[in-house]
Amino acid sequence: MRLEELNALTANPELWNDAVRAQKLMSEKNTLEQNINIYQQQEKNLQDLYELCEMAESDNDENMLSEGMQQLEILRKETHHGELEALLSGEVDGNDAFLEVHSGSGGTEAQDWAEMLLRMYTRWAENHHYKVEYIEETEGDVAGLKSATIRIIGHNAYGWLKAESGVHRLVRISPFDSNARRHTSFASVGVYPVIDDEIQIEINEADCRIDTYRASGAGGQHINKTDSAVRITHIPTGIVVSCQTQRSQFQNRDSAWKMLKARLYEIELQKREAAAQEQRSAQGDNGWGSQIRSYVLQPYKMVKDLRTDAETSDTKAVLDGDIDMFLAAALAGKVGKNEENS
């Protein structure tokens, strides 16, 4: 049993001579223990609810039976979530995630939409007890954001969010249009795994241009307004990353290097995915960076994922961070396709 193996490894004092390996094994051990405890608690809850429903039927107590059925539905959703999370077995699925939002064409409308998306993801993270760290924000000319980068810290953050990369489309009556016309806005989302030291990504510093600067404009509510901001441009790929959160230029530089590593590693993951897709039908998943989801607020209310067909009319809940149905559908769909092609 893996837990017994981990208990033996972590009990060995010599393990702590390698702090990085020790921390990784301890993290795996704690996660495994947590998952086992959750399973055992759910098993106990199921037995308790089964007995409750039997008692309610025996006593012909409709209120008690109704309450029991409601609790069973809650338990069903919890176990389904656990089943999906167990599928997050990719090399970096358990890692933290960098999430970037960039406004598309459309000026103020698109910039406001980018800020709405950032709020949606931060709400989702907070609802799932993840920690959110702001890396970079560039405010819009009038409202909203031109771009923003956050780090979502917690187990399986990347695994859950990796399918969110792509273009998100919003249709609504513009709050910035005095004629109250309907507008369509676009913003792109990119999700990249935070890479630990055990995954080697070679970066030739000669291929990079490093600039330091002062945060432009207002700089964003989460950003320190100092001269320590760092921007790194990876010339061979054209990737640009920046960090403005810390007052120390050294800390911002370190964060920017980590983001660049994450972006380059994501490119490698995309190459693997592209190779796998060559074996799939032409009706497979949309490519990276393509439109993945439509959010319609006018003339009707509907959020629909264009890859999985998952949809809901509760647009307010979605924009408040309730996106689990889309994450689950993307994960379940991807797993199903992998099984078909195995």
Does 262 map to a domain?
yes
Residue 169 shares a structural domain with residue 257: yes
Looking up residue 21, the CATH number of its domain turns out to be: 1.20.58.410
Residue 174 shares a structural domain with residue 277: yes
Residue 16 shares a structural domain with residue 152: no
pLDDT of residue 110: 93
What stretch of H or E contains 131?
strand 131-139
Does 92 map to a domain?
no
pLDDT of residue 207: 92
Check if the beta carbon of residue 32 is closer than 8 Å to that of residue 3: yes
pLDDT of residue 141: 86
Give 10-residue mean pLDDT values along the chain (342 residues). Answer: 86 85 81 82 89 90 90 85 76 89 89 96 95 92 92 93 94 86 91 76 88 65 65 93 84 89 84 57 36 93 95 97 94 56 42
pTM of the model: 0.68
If phi > 0 it is left, if psi is from -120 to 50 it is alpha, else beta; for residue 273 that is alpha
Does 325 map to a domain?
yes
Cβ within 8 Å of residue 8, ≥6 positions away:
none
Instruction: Mark which of 59, 86, 113 sits at the end of a domain.
Output: 86
Does 91 map to a domain?
no
pLDDT of residue 334: 60
pLDDT of residue 313: 97
- Classify the C-alpha dihedral 141-143-149-150 as positive or negative: positive
- Number of compact structural domains in the chain: 2
What is the domain range of residue 248?
97-340
Residue 105 shares a structural domain with residue 188: yes
pLDDT of residue 337: 45
pLDDT of residue 162: 92
Check if the beta carbon of residue 332 is closer than 8 Å to that of residue 324: no
Strand, coil or helix: 170? strand
Residue 241 shares a structural domain with residue 161: yes
